[in-house]
Amino acid sequence: MKPSVIEMIYSQHDEIIRQWKNEVTELNQFDSTLPTNWFHETNEEFVNLIMGTLELEENEAKEQFRSFAERLMNAGWPLSYFTKGMQLFRRVLVQMLTSDESFESEKVFETLNEVEKWVDGVINQLVDEYTGSWENTLHLQKLALKELSAPLIPVFEKISVMPLVGTIDTERAKLIMENLLEGIIEHRSQVVLIDITGVPVVDTMVAHHIIQASEAVRLVGAECILVGIRPEIAQTIINLGIDLRKFPTKSTLRKGIETGLELTQRKIISTS
Amino acid sequence: MSVQSNVEVHSEWGIVSARQAGRNLAKELGFGGVDQARFTTAISELARNIYLYAEQGEIIIETVENSRITGVQRGLKITARDRGPGIKSIREVMEDGYTTSGGLGAGLPGVKRLMDEFDIDSVTGEGTEITAIKWLR
């Protein structure tokens, strides 16, 4: 930044900070999402950081903003606090700088340009920090969801259960198929129970994926039993005209396990 | 007074939110468990068709009324609208087992059976609008 501009900012340093603080307090009075207890301290720190960037080396200034943003991010401060705060800062600054009437118009333009660059740089960095953190969270959640999405649980020798909970989309349908086939080989299952108690809607696509999965299961030499069909789901399946005659279905997981044991020539007996 | 819910569908998440909106409205209006399931499944089919064939469109769910001798009948209406390729032969898509995407081919005839009233309006190359109504019993 041009030394002349920096000098000008410094000459009105205290006044700029005072006015900014006033306006930012006013701006955020209506925003109840902000924690009020350390609002003033944060404003103080924020404005000092902004001013600090004038002296510090670029990388150092960036580092300071990063740790500041990270701290506030974890405390739940919205991004809009920063963007609004910076926009306000620019307005205050421009007002100050241009209120001096002795300024030549050419110089005003130049100064504005410098200020724009400065403020926009800080805004961009803050937005990047925030979106980076969101993307990271989203990515981790996707991974977590994927791990939860289609587990195959070996409950008895030769019998495994896949409980499905929630919406089935194409991505998940693929996972169901993969985990089923891999799990059958790994656990040497002969019977797999797919439990759809937790699936809210069974439309033709969901049914289609389940039919395909059970067909694939048959090909690797195991048998698939569909369990957990709720009465209302049974009626919609009939209305839709989906043909599930090809593979066995049971109303509950318990009945499915009994059938599974039967198919593998075993049964549960009471010892009393 | 009509309550309305508007959902844009351009990803698989759109299908989920359309379904959610439909289920909530159906519950509010007093539909029973089975009819709620029928209604949401119908929305799911229509929204999936939009996503699959037209890539984007919208699902509008609104309450409708019909005056009869026995009193005012209330119901829910789904409008599925897109600017996709349109349906070439409506007679064919309403046949069970007809599919162009390798699916089960039960979607549209299924929706007709799930709902009480059903209507397709489609122009090839311009888009499709499907409306379906489920009356409260």
What is the spatial distance between Cα A221 and Cα A26, in angstroms, rounded to a whole number? 71
Place of tokens 């599925």: B80
A204–B106 CB contact, under 8 Å: yes
What is the spatial distance between Cα A65 and Cα A68, in angstroms, rounded to a whole number? 5
Residues with Cβ within 8 Å of residue A68, at least 6 apart in sequence = A45, A46, A49
**CB-defined contacts A:B, below 8 A:** 66
DSSP A163: E
CATH code for position B35: 3.30.565.10
Residue A23 and residue A116 in one domain: yes
What is the spatial distance between Cα A196 and Cα A168, in angstroms, rounded to a whole number? 10
> Which domain range does residue B22 map to?
4-135
> Which domain range does residue A210 map to?
153-263
* Residue A268: inside a domain: no
Of the candidates A264, A200, A189, A205, the residue with the CA atom closest to the CA atom of residue A228: A200
Task: Please name the member of A167, A231, A233 whose beta carbon is closest to the beta carbon of B16.
Answer: A167
ipTM: 0.84
Residue A57 and residue A113 in one domain: yes
Q: Count structural domains, chain A.
A: 2
Nearest CA in chain B to A167: B16
Q: Count structural domains, chain B.
A: 1
B10 inside 8 A of chain A by CB: no
pTM of structure: 0.74
B48: left (phi over 0), alpha (psi -120 to 50) or beta: alpha
B44 inside 8 A of chain A by CB: yes
B114–A236 CB contact, under 8 Å: yes
Residue A115 and residue A195 in one domain: no
A208–B103 CB contact, under 8 Å: yes
B40–A231 CB contact, under 8 Å: no
Residue A67 and residue A126 in one domain: yes
Cβ(A160)–Cβ(A184) under 8 Å? Answer: yes
- Cα A43 from chain centre: 28
Task: Please name the member of B41, B109, B113 whose beta carbon is closest to the beta carbon of A203.
Answer: B41
> pLDDT (tens digit, 0 to 9) for every residue of chain A, 272 residues total?
777 777 777 888 888 888 888 888 777 665 656 666 677 788 888 888 888 887 777 788 888 888 888 888 888 788 888 888 888 888 888 887 777 666 667 777 778 888 888 888 888 888 998 899 889 999 998 888 887 788 899 999 999 999 999 888 888 889 999 999 999 999 999 999 999 999 989 989 899 999 999 999 999 999 999 999 999 999 999 988 888 888 789 989 999 999 999 999 988 888 98
Backbone angles phi, psi at A33, to 5 degrees: -75, -15
What is the spatial distance between Cα B102 and Cα A149, in angstroms, rounded to a whole number? 25
B113 inside 8 A of chain A by CB: yes
